[in-house]
């Protein structure tokens, strides 16, 4: 089967699900959105991100060729158990959750007639919901894929076709490795941004002028602290070990900076900051 002939069911019409629908609708044979609220059925159809929408998840996944779970991580875990067995023989279940270890572990327990694939597109916004969705959200992003040992070549081919069609680049990574890497580049930055904002709030309690002098540096470094809390709670609690390891390493590195500044060790502080600046510039040049 190719993507154009497929019936795609997207469970969850928030930012990620609706944006995927915008990209696929009009190309795939049919794109159906599965929503939780009756009023969201009309909302999704009128937005133009799906051909049709429904509240009946079980009936929809039983008809679809490819089911995409575009919901928070712990909801994905529940839906794998609740909806997975209802997929038709040969049906594919793909998720877009931000952690992969527990999700791929749950997918390993799917019935033999269902194909599973873990996925995580490395993109998004601080805003949530269908109103924030847009066509082209996935363009040029890395789309991590975690096939199971039993995932067939045919399944991987169809999922890769979807990833390529929406303009993303597929990257196959083992679930545990994925979780360790995203703890470093996504989950730890969220928590450090939250700690930064909490610190500035404390400063503001003594001197509210801090908000007037805050400029682009604070804006850029604190941006992700405004992300959807429910979504991030799911992520943190399903990736606790990797995130805690990242926090411990970060605290150690911050302590080194603290000590060199406390001791006014200008030479050593300058060397360390120069090395860090060089590493950041190298990353920026490589990925710009």
DSSP E strand boundaries for the chain: 7-11, 30-34, 52-54, 66-69, 92-95, 115-121, 142-147, 169-172
User: In this structure, are residues 68 and 80 in contact, taking their beta carbons and an 8 Å threshold?
Assistant: no
Dihedrals phi, psi of 190, to nearest 5 degrees: -60, -50
Closest alpha carbon to 20 in 67, 57, 64, 65: 67
- Per-residue pLDDT, 111: 95
Q: What is the pTM assigned to this prediction?
A: 0.89
Query: What b/e string do you get for 95-110 counting C-beta neighbours within 10 Å, with b at 16 or more?
Result: bbbbbbbbbbebbeeb
- Per-residue pLDDT, 211: 94
List of residues 6+ apart from 194 with CB closer than 8 A: 225
Higher pLDDT, 79 or 126: 79
What average pLDDT does the chain have? 94
Q: Which domains does the chain have, with CATH numbers?
A: 3-173 (3.40.50.720), 178-287 (1.10.3660.10)
Residue 158: pLDDT above 80? yes
Closest alpha carbon to 93 in 82, 137, 135, 180: 82
pLDDT band per the 50, 70, 90 thresholds, residue 288: very low
Dihedrals phi, psi of 2, to nearest 5 degrees: -110, 170
**pLDDT, tens only, 21-78:** 999 999 999 999 999 999 999 999 999 999 999 999 999 999 999 999 999 999 999 9
Provide the pairing of β-strand 30-34 with 92-95: unpaired
- Measured CA to CA, the distance from residue 75 to residue 106 in angstroms comes to 12
Which ranges of 108-239 does DSSP label H, i.e. alpha helix? 153-165, 175-182, 188-206, 210-213, 216-222, 229-237
Q: How far is CA 188 from the centre of its chain?
A: 14
Dihedrals phi, psi of 159, to nearest 5 degrees: -65, -40
- Per-residue pLDDT, 126: 67
pLDDT band per the 50, 70, 90 thresholds, residue 230: confident
User: In this structure, are residues 12 and 55 in contact, taking their beta carbons and an 8 Å threshold?
Assistant: no
Of 75-84, 133-142, 241-250, 275-284, which gets the smallest average pLDDT? 275-284
Closest alpha carbon to 115 in 167, 152, 165, 164: 152
């Amino acid at each position: 089967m190719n993507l154009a002939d497929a019936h795609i069911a997207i469970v969850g019409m928030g930012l990620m699900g609706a944006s995927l629908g915008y990209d696929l609708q009009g190309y795939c044979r049919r794109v159906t959105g599965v929503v939780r609220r009756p009023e969201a059925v009309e909302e999704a159809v009128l937005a133009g991100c799906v051909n049709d929408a429904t509240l009946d998840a079980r009936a929809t996944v039983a008809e679809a060729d490819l089911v995409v779970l575009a919901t928070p991580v712990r909801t994905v875990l529940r839906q794998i158990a609740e909806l997975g067995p209802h997929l038709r023989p040969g049906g594919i279940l793909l998720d877009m959750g931000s952690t992969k270890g527990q999700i791929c572990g749950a997918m390993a327990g799917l019935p033999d007639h269902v194909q599973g694939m873990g996925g995580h597109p490395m993109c998004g916004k601080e805003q949530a919901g269908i109103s924030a969705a847009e066509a082209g959200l996935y363009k040029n992003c890395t789309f991590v894929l975690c096939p199971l040992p039993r995932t067939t070549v045919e399944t991987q081919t169809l999922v890769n076709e979807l990833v390529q069609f929406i303009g993303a680049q597929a990257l196959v990574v083992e679930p545990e490795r994925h979780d360790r890497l995203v703890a470093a580049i996504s989950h730890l930055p969220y928590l450090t941004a939250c700690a930064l904002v909490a610190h500035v709030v404390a400063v503001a309690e003594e001197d509210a002028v801090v908000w007037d002098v805050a400029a682009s540096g604070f804006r850029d470094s604190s941006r992700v602290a405004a992300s959807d809390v429910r979504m991030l709670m799911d992520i943190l609690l399903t990736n606790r070990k990797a995130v805690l390891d990242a926090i411990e390493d970060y605290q150690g590195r911050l302590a080194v900076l603290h000590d060199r500044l406390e001791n006014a060790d200008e030479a050593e502080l300058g060397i360390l900051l120069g090395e860090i600046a060089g590493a950041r510039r190298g990353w920026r040049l490589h990925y710009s």
